[in-house]
């Protein structure tokens, strides 16, 4: 026993006594470097400021799209838009359906015109159906929507048989106008939230439709040509010859689309005429350029 006690004493002398729990040191974090205001709260850092995170929102809210119109259009895509609400609020579809929209025929007219506007201004097909379904539920309408390239099928079902069941076909003209699409999306959101009435929403849809485009026709033509030129080497393995030829053919494709928007008789055959002209030119120059690369890159803008 004496030898064991001596060994234990030597170990204690070598390692020292273990610290007890009362001597545990408390870690103190370094002082915060953020500044404080008079109320004692930390001020928001410049990096986390919403103006730096989403600068386009403040720019769009401050920009006026209609300086010469009497009707006040909805603000373009703000921080309270429908897409953000759908993510943050799972009860978005039923939260704003208060049932105050009693004029069923007026609500149906608004949905038809809003769906036609969003479809013609470039809204994706799947998103178009989702927006119309949500708006119909919030307005208290029993409706189903099926959107395909070229038209929308709308099925109205009235359980009270006041208006009866009805199927409506809404024709769409393929076009792209991001400014008008943004305004229509904000307008539908304002009507659903009951910030404006349905009748006022219909009148504002007419005002949006009459707006002049932001960019002139020659800027759009250059955009078509530049897109065709860029996609030729990137997506279809074309060279410089295919890229330059696609540039001119892309401009001609836009010119044909411009004619289709001016003349109703030519509108339904714009895609056919564009494809026929581009394929004819590419085939005639097939000894010098790649036929497939030129045709696909020249028509890439009007492809569905």
Per-residue tens of pLDDT for the chain, all 304 residues: 566 666 566 655 555 554 444 444 444 545 544 444 444 444 444 434 444 333 344 444 444 444 444 444 444 444 444 443 443 444 544 444 444 435 778 888 889 899 989 988 888 888 888 888 888 888 888 888 888 888 888 888 765 555 567 788 888 877 788 889 999 999 998 888 888 888 888 999 999 988 888 888 899 999 999 999 999 988 888 889 999 999 999 999 999 988 888 887 888 888 899 999 999 999 999 889 999 899 999 998 887 6
Q: Of the candidates 184, 209, 234, which is a domain's last residue?
A: 209
Report residue 120 as tokens.
């013609």
In a domain, 32, yes or no: no
Q: Closest Cα partner for 94 from 103, 86, 105, 102?
A: 86
HSE-up of residue 164 (Cα within 13 Å, Cβ side)? 3
Question: pLDDT at position 225, please?
Answer: 93
Quote the pLDDT of residue 167.
Answer: 81
Residues with Cβ < 8 Å from 106, sequence gap 6 or more?
A: 198, 199, 202
Claim to verify: residue 95 and residue 194 sit in the same structural domain: yes
Determine, yes or no, domain membership for 124. yes
Q: Are residues 76 and 195 in the same domain?
A: yes
> Do 109 and 192 fall into the same domain?
yes
What is the CB neighbour count within 10 angstroms for residue 36? 10
Identify any residues that bridge with 168 across adjacent strands, giving them in sequence order.
Answer: 154
Total number of domains constituting the chain: 2
Same domain, 79 and 168: yes
Judgement on whether residues 90 and 200 belong to the same structural domain of the protein: yes
Q: What's the confidence (pLDDT) of residue 238?
A: 85
User: Could you give the 3-state DSSP secondary structure of residue 159?
Assistant: coil
Q: What are phi and psi of 169, to 5 degrees?
A: -110, 120
Q: Which domain, by its residues, includes 293?
A: 217-298
- Is 40 inside any structural domain? no
pLDDT at 227: 93
Q: Which two tokens stand for residue 139?
A: 């307005």
Is residue 134 located within the same domain as residue 108? yes
Q: Is residue 51 part of a domain?
A: no
DSSP designation for 100: -
| One domain, residues 203 and 238 | no
Beta bridge partners of 152: 147, 170
Residue where a domain stops, chosen among 209, 238, 260: 209
Measure CA of the first residue to CA of the last residue in the chain; give whole Å.
93
HSE-up of residue 97 (Cα within 13 Å, Cβ side): 14
Based on the fold, state whether residues 101 and 194 are members of the same structural domain. yes
Q: Are residues 172 and 237 in the same domain?
A: no
- For residues 80 and 169, membership in a common domain is answered with yes
Q: Which of 153, 180, 209 is the last residue of a domain?
A: 209
pLDDT of residue 44: 43
Report yes or no: 72 and 186 within 8 Å, Cβ to Cβ: no
């Amino acid at each position: 026993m004496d030898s064991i006690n001596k060994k234990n004493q030597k170990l204690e002398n070598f390692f020292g006594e273990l610290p007890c729990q009362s001597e545990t040191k408390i870690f103190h974090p370094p002082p915060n470097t953020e500044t404080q205001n008079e109320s004692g709260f930390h001020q928001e850092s410049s990096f986390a400021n919403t103006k730096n995170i989403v600068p386009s929102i403040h720019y769009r809210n401050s920009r006026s799209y209609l300086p010469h119109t009497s009707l006040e259009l909805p603000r373009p895509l703000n921080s309270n838009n429908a897409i953000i609400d759908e993510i943050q609020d799972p009860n978005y579809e039923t939260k704003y359906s208060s049932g105050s929209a009693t004029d069923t025929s007026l609500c149906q007219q608004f949905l038809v015109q809003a769906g036609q506007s969003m479809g013609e201004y470039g809204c994706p097909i799947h998103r178009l159906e989702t927006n119309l379904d949500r708006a119909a539920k919030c307005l208290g309408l029993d409706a189903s929507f099926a959107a395909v390239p070229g038209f929308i099928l709308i099925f109205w079902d009235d359980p009270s048989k006041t208006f009866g069941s009805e199927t409506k076909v809404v024709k769409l003209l393929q076009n792209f106008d991001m400014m008008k699409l943004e305004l229509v999306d904000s307008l539908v959101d304002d009507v659903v939230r009951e910030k404006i009435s349905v009748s006022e929403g219909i009148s504002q849809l007419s005002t949006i439709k009459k707006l002049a485009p932001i960019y002139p026709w020659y800027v759009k033509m250059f955009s078509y040509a530049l897109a065709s030129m860029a996609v030729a080497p990137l997506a279809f393995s074309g060279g410089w010859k295919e890229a330059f030829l696609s540039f001119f053919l892309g401009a001609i494709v836009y010119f044909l689309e411009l004619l289709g928007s001016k003349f109703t008789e030519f509108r339904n055959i714009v895609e056919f005429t564009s494809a026929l002209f581009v394929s004819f030119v590419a085939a005639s120059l097939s000894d010098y350029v790649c036929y497939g690369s030129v045709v696909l890159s020249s028509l890439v803008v009007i492809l569905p």
